[in-house]
């Protein structure tokens, strides 16, 4: 309203483009909305805002720490079988150290935990804590 009263109404060369306040508002919105959308898209694509938004969305999503669907049914079992086959080949060649073997077992245990529907990692937003089951708990 201030822009119209101070900028458009007293000027004879701008007054034909916006003869009333309602037309000025409609014209302003017709220009401001597309410009705002384009500026927002540019900001998201050219700055780190999109990466930060994707990072926050990933951390907030509890399904990033669990497997569902095709990962649970196909991909993780296939990866486990592939890793076990590679481990057998490395054992035959005697190139698998004890540290590599324990690391491999830890990763396979995590894969099995995912297949059983447990969390791997700690989703920060959910406050899920990791726990281990001991022999006395069974």
Q: Is residue 96 part of a domain?
A: yes
Structure token pair of residue 1: 């309203």
Distance between start and end Cα atoms, the chain = 73
More confidently predicted of 1 and 23: 23
Q: Is residue 75 part of a domain?
A: yes
Residue 63 pLDDT: 63
Q: Is residue 123 part of a domain?
A: no
- Domain count along the chain: 2
Range of the domain at 6: 2-47
Find, among 19, 32, 33, 28, the residue nearest to 8 by Cα.
19
Query: Whole-structure pTM over 0.75, yes or no?
Result: no
Q: What pLDDT, in 10s, does the model give residues 23-62?
A: 888 988 999 999 999 998 888 777 777 777 777 777 777 6
Q: Is residue 52 part of a domain?
A: no
Q: What pLDDT, in 10s, does the model give residues 92-104?
A: 988 888 898 899 8
Say how many C-beta atoms besides its own lie within 10 A of residue 131's C-beta: 8
Query: Are 10 and 43 members of one domain?
Result: yes
Q: Is residue 129 part of a domain?
A: no
Q: What pLDDT, in 10s, does the model give residues 86-134?
A: 888 988 988 888 898 899 888 888 888 888 877 777 655 555 444 444 4
Rg (CA), the chain: 30
Q: Is residue 92 part of a domain?
A: yes
């Amino acid at each position: 309203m201030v822009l119209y009263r101070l900028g458009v109404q007293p000027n004879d060369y701008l007054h034909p483009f916006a003869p009333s306040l309602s037309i000025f508002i409609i014209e302003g919105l017709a220009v401001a909305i597309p410009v705002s959308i384009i500026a927002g898209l540019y900001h998201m694509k050219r700055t780190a805002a999109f990466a930060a938004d994707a990072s926050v969305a990933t951390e907030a999503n509890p399904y990033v720490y669990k497997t569902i669907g095709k990962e649970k049914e196909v991909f993780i079992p296939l990866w486990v079988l592939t890793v076990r086959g590679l481990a057998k080949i490395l054992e035959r060649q005697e190139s698998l150290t004890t540290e590599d073997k324990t690391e491999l077992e830890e990763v396979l245990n995590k894969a099995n935990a995912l297949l059983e529907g447990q969390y791997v990692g700690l989703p920060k937003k959910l406050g899920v804590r990791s726990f281990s089951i001991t022999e006395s708990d069974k």
